[in-house]
Amino acid sequence: MKQILIFTDLDGTLIDYDTYDFKEAESVLNQLRSMSIPVIICSSKTRAEIEVYRQRMGLSNPFIVENGGAIFMPSYTFDLKDVDFVEKGPYRVVELGMPYTELCAIWKEIKNEKKFRMKGFSEMTIQEIAATTGLPVEEAALAAKREYSEPFIFSDTSAQLRLLASLFQEKGLKISKGGRFYHMIGESNKGRAVQILRKVYANMYPDKRIWTVGAGDSANDIPMLRHVDMPIVIRKKTGEWEHIQGIDSVVYSDKAGPRGWAEVIHTIL
């Protein structure tokens, strides 16, 4: 017997890159729920944003926020062993990233010193975030509720980007590239979070073999794809796929976004 876990990105994967809609994946999500197969969102989005999608999709499983910054697990479901966590509302939270206040302090220090042409969410109004992301203002406000990462637009040269990355590295930080933004994050990543959750589920189901699927479309999904049994790369709306190196047996969807996600997951089932 095996227990399947499905880890999935949101933007450009389970939800449409432009419309943020997931209707083309709804029937497969319903099928997974009926089969008691957890769908674990693993996204660059904030806790506040993901909570909205979990409600819309009828999901009650753990979720991974801000590119692996933290794992949120419903307290009533999970008995954690050998895992450090904090209590936050209805969740037991495994915090892997640097707190946002510390990130912002480093951001301001480096930006002011080197005069990089870049702008982070902490410097944008809610209206600016809405205009940049295409989100309604109410949802842009949720995107601004950062806890472990700083998304930013970089308008400088590639040489300056490399310099920025080296300066971040000196502070124990790194840059992760998503579909719309660069992200300033700590030493956390989606792959590390996946490894931890896999062990949590293994403890929950000692008589079953844990078998994992991971689906994503961007560079920041690669750490997740490296730590699942079946990595899936979802086609972008441009018709291209994210370039993946060093991972065996990658499955590439033929269609883009939630339609591609649904087709591949349905085939697996």
Helix or strand (DSSP H, E) at 128: helix 126-133
Tell me the backbone φ, ψ of residue 159, rounded to 5 degrees: -65, -40
Judge whether 229 counts as a catalytic residue: no
Distances (CA, A) of 147 to 95, 106, 184: 10, 15, 12
| Dihedral sign from CA coordinates of 223, 236, 25, 251 | negative
The single residue of 9, 11, 217, 221 carrying the catalytic annotation is 9
Cβ atoms of residues 224 and 194 within 8 Å: yes
Which structure tokens are listed for 215?
A: 């689906």
> Strand, coil or helix: what is 45?
coil
Active site residues: 9
